[in-house]
Structure 1
Amino acid sequence: MFRSIKSLVDDFTNLLFLTPCIGCGNSLSINEKILCTSCRIKLPETGQHRTPYDQNLLNKFAGKVPIKFVASYVYFSKGSTIQKLIHAIKYKGQKEAAKEIASWYGYQLKAESQLVNDIDVIIGVPLHKSRLAQRGYNQADYIAEGLSESLDIPMRTGVLVRNYFKTSQTRKNRIERWENVKTVFKVAAPEEVKDKNVALVDDVLTTGATLEACAVELLKAGCQSVSVLTIAAAK
């Protein structure tokens, strides 16, 4: 009953205040969320999760940290709908967009892949408390929540924490990114991950330095394995 009322209220609100598509700016129809059908169809999906599993992204971590698998929903490129979407999620308060697009990916993973079958818990890459206070939310947690609900796998927050505030990773090369994050993460609740298969979640995979630093700490805390899921990945 509550869901029906909420759905009616949402539909009525959309009629009164037309919501623009993040990709093209055209008004969304009642049944569309975040992106219009045209923009969603054009998303550059990677298909990396399908059989046979594409190990291209896994090579970013080769020889650095043992990652079980890496998969991203779409490819990231400058000026694209995906860049607009990620920007809206991180800097324009579109946290529900993070959850929605993650649920799209989660349902796809569940229907088309066995990669996630052994995952025990989903954890988002944490923000430092000062950045969290500034932004008001951690987009990675909303991505984790969308994946958790669509995959029916529990997510945990507060397990992995960021001890120090470091400068932005934007415009840094891989070595600079690693130096910037290699000591900033800590597992605050090792009992939540010990002997478990963890899926580490973030918005975009570029060099992999941040995810690598998180994975190192999770494995030190006794994880059985760490895998990586992101919304987007740079080619």
Structure 2
Amino acid sequence: MRFLKDFFDVFYPKLCASCDKPLINNEITLCTFCRHDLPLTNFTNYSENKIVKIFYGRVAIEKANALLYYRKKGITKKLIHDLKYKGNQEIGEFFGNWWGSILKENNEFYDVDFIIPVPLHPKKLKKRGYNQVTKFGKKISQHLNIPFNHNTLTRVSTSKTQTFKSRFERFSNIDTKFFLKDNTFFKGKHVLLIDDVITTGATLEACIRELQKTQEIKISILTMAYTE
């Protein structure tokens, strides 16, 4: 079996998801050079940072953070685009393992009861075949030993892709609606809401408003990236 693995590694090497160069040694998904080129946010304070401030005066949240900056040009944009539209779910697992190991070490979300992904509308889910944050969330779930709940919060309306909208249009988008199947399931619980990229926070705000129909719920946010 080792011979076969070595054979495939030689003739069909795994490539870096960013630069397409062959991965070597213990490299996973990204080569060492591309990984070091990622624009980390380095927000050490989870309750006082730029992301938390987005929601001031809008909805109440406990904490928030993002691993990377998302810019118009750069490695983060390429990776998340490939994750969402080219089926490369290994990228979600890569970010989930990275974030999960950080969170396990700093114990920041020790009191979280459930991890919840921002859901896709069933039509979009059927077309794409997967929610781009599912494997991301499941890896974090494994690291923190926190249940991953993907079916209590659902999306009940579709909206055109956010990619080509202006920042104002994304902020003022009121077409995105969510539905909480059971308003008591998360009662008194602390939930961690996850997504790929946060820009204006409009989608996350819509999720939070629906989740807050539950009494005594606490909500935190975690994403792969944050748009400056």
| TM-score, normalised relative to structure 1 | 0.88
Q: 1:106·1:150 contact (CA, 8 Å) conserved in 2?
A: yes
Distance in 2 of aligned mates of 1:192 and 1:37? 43
- Offset from partner CA, 1:133-187 (integer Å, 9 cap, x none): 1100001222211211122211111111001111112233455335434651011
Q: Distance in 1 between matches of 2:165 and 2:99?
A: 28
Aligned in 2, Cα 1:59/1:11: closer, same or farther, shift over 3 Å?
farther
Asked if the contact 1:125/1:200 (under 8 Å) is kept, the reply is yes
Determine whether 1:72 maps to 2:66: yes
Identity of matched residues, %: 38
Shift of 1:52: 7.8
Give runs of aligned pairs for residues 171-186 of structure 1, distance below 5 A.
171-181=164-174, 184-186=177-179
Distance 2:3 2:118 in 1: 35
Return the alpha-carbon distance in structure 1 between the equivalents of residues 68 and 222 of structure 2.
11
The answer to whether the aligner puts 1:217 opposite 2:210 as a matched pair is yes
Taking the aligned partners of 1:66 and 1:35, their CA distance within structure 2 comes to 36
Contact 1:98 1:139 in 2 (8 A): yes
RMSD of aligned residue pairs (Cα, Å):
2.2
Separation in 2 of the partners of 1:9 and 1:210? Answer: 46
Amino acid at match of 1:196: K
Please, which runs of 5 or more residues in structure 1 have no aligned partner? none
Describe how 1:95-106 pairs up with structure 2 within 5 A: 95-106=89-100
Q: Give how far 1:109 is off.
A: 1.9
Shift of 1:115: 2.5
More helix by share: 1
Q: Distance in 1 between matches of 2:185 and 2:6?
A: 39
Q: Is the 8 A contact 1:15 1:30 kept in 2?
A: no
The residue that corresponds to 1:24 in the other structure is 19
Unaligned regions of 5+ residues in structure 2, if any? none
For residue 109 of structure 1, the aligned residue among 103, 109, 117 is 103
How many residue pairs get aligned? The number is 228
Aligned 1:70-149 pairs, distance under 5 A: 70-111=64-105, 113-149=106-142
Instruction: Describe the shift of the 1:102–1:11 C-alpha distance in structure 2 as closer, same or farther (beyond 3 A).
Output: farther
The answer to whether structure 1 residue 59 and structure 2 residue 46 are counterparts is no
Secondary structure in 2 matching 1:180? coil
- Structure 1, 18-27 or 167-176: larger mean CA deviation: 167-176
TM-score (norm 2): 0.91
**Which residue, out of 19, 33, 39, partners 1:38?**
33
Equivalent AA in structure 2 for residue 44 of structure 1 = P
Change (3 A) 1:197 1:86: same
Q: Counterpart in 1 of 2:191? A: 198
Could you say what secondary structure the match of 2:109 adopts?
helix
Task: Tell me the CA shift for residue 191 of structure 1.
Answer: 3.9
Give 1:189 deviation, angstroms: 3.4
Question: What is the DSSP-based 3-state SS (H/G/I as helix, E as strand, rest coil) of the residue aligned with 1:154?
Answer: coil
Change (3 A) 1:40 1:177: same
